[in-house]
Amino acid sequence: MIDCADEQIEDLATRFDLQLASGGALLAERCRRAPSEVQALWANFVCAICEIHEARMLIAAFRAWQALEKAKPLPF
């Protein structure tokens, strides 16, 4: 398990345009924002564990996936 400060996760979430639940959020809001929190934790893991070249490739792939997700049409 990697120990990291909330500030690190919040910083990564900001840098990767991920929306986290606020500290005092209700359970439903925290559940809705759980995927973003996991993505920020993953980014922290990549930055902490991977070699710089591998980290850059993984982050680039993540950014490409994010762009594809944002480009999806909204369901009706």
Instruction: Let me know if residue 66 belongs to a domain.
Output: yes
Instruction: Let me know if residue 23 belongs to a domain.
Output: yes
Please give the model's pTM, rounded to 2 decimal places: 0.79
- Burial label for 43, CB within 10 Å (0-12, 13-18, 19+), is buried
Instruction: Give residue 33's domain range.
Output: 6-71
Rounded Cα distance, 20 and 22, in Å? 6
Rounded Cα distance, 56 and 39, in Å? 15
Instruction: Let me know if residue 76 belongs to a domain.
Output: no
The pairs formed by 58-62 with CB atoms below 8 angstroms and a separation of 24 or more are 62/16
Instruction: Let me know if residue 1 belongs to a domain.
Output: no
Query: Domain count of the chain?
Result: 1
List pLDDT tens digits, range 30-60.
999 999 999 999 999 999 999 999 999 999 9
